[in-house]
Structure 1
């Protein structure tokens, strides 16, 4: 059984934020729902990162390998890879899990995750180089200052528009922690894929697969 990748390649393509500073009012994560200022900052962040990401794709001076390297750098620096990655294996880090992961196993997984995402999806990014992302609205998420940014993505091939919700995590530097595309939660989908692979092949095999994925 092969590990089924997330079918929403566009979501990963767009989940490569660039470094955009949020206004001072939104930099400190506070308890309570996101304020109007934090919501606006999150919307500006998503708008900016989309423009930056597709700007890289449209840069004809970059080779495919150079673009992959640039995306890898952006991903490591700005996407909440570690937090999201740990959430994907939360079932196996819980006290009652039948699989007891060692610190070494978790660390190996965390080290492999960024390159796994980039290596799996970077070749598909070029399919969406002409896509346009428009922010529609924002909604506070929970009581930790997080914001759901609702967007409409124009299909470069002329198909139906794609609706995507970006979950923005506040802080000194904003991070995208998850995306829902056309009602499908990307993190939950990948978590289910990982679970199926681990149950059949074991956790170490998952890490090996992630390291070898191209």
Structure 2
């Protein structure tokens, strides 16, 4: 049974933008833009120097250190987060992290030759910085990407990526909610499915 088809499409595009690109430096040295550029540069090195399980582990480290995974997981789970036990919440965060790292590792080879051009950074009243960028493809029209970045005690972290205006986190929320509703309104079947995907 296919899981989260829309999410897969968004992740394929986002994976290409986030981790298989040559990043063009931002016009101004702004910390949020620097984070996006550094994330792309780190991912490029991973693609060039690793394969298989080593690549997956390296990608997972990028997710852990460059993204606010707990925040993204909680937002994606929506109202179901409060209904989950603390154990389920922890398992959900870990399962999404591992499943995404595995998916990214398997898809990286599809993105050679693209470039990510960093644009302006906008500060919002809610404490979010939005870094505009453009994914230039070797074939086809450029894709607009917006990176949301927040300040945490540990430093700046990416909290969402919008692809042509469509939020990855909100896409996940829609797909996760649909999966939960199809499985008796319970979070556990979703966690089990994500863990199963991560272990394959």
The question of a shared fold, defined as TM-score above 0.5 by the shorter chain, is answered with yes
1:180 to 2:162 alignment: yes
Specify which structure has the bigger relative contact order, considering alpha-carbon pairs within 8 angstroms and separated by 6 or more residues. Answer: 1
Q: Scaled by the length of structure 2, what TM-score is found?
A: 0.83
Offset at residue 179 of structure 1 (A): 0.4
More strand by share: 2
Gaps of 5+ in 2: 20-27
Q: CA RMSD in A?
A: 2.1
- What is the DSSP-based 3-state SS (H/G/I as helix, E as strand, rest coil) of the residue aligned with 2:148? strand
Partner of 2:36: 46
Question: Who wins on radius of gyration, i.e. which is larger?
Answer: 1
Deviation sequence 1:40-61 (CA, Å, 0-9, x none): 111122122212212322x1x4
Corresponding pairs, count? 184
1:43–1:149 CA contact under 8 A, matched in 2: yes
Partner of 2:24: none
Gaps of 5+ in 1: 17-36, 95-99
Offset at residue 170 of structure 1 (A): 1.7
Question: Aligned runs of 1:89-104 on 2, under 5 Å?
Answer: 89-94=77-82, 100-104=83-87
Offset at residue 111 of structure 1 (A): 2.5
Partner of 2:140: 159
Deviation sequence 1:104-151 (CA, Å, 0-9, x none): 22222122121021123321122113221111111112332x210000
1:56 to 2:46 alignment: yes
1:199 to 2:175 alignment: no
Distance 1:107 1:48 in 2: 28
- What is the DSSP-based 3-state SS (H/G/I as helix, E as strand, rest coil) of the residue aligned with 2:30? helix
Deviation sequence 1:57-114 (CA, Å, 0-9, x none): 2x1x4223322221112212221111100111121235xxxxx322222222122121
Distance 1:74 1:151 in 2: 19
Deviation sequence 1:20-41 (CA, Å, 0-9, x none): xxxxxxxxxxxxxxxxx9x811
More helix by share: 2
Extract structure 1 runs of 4+ deviating beyond 6 A: none
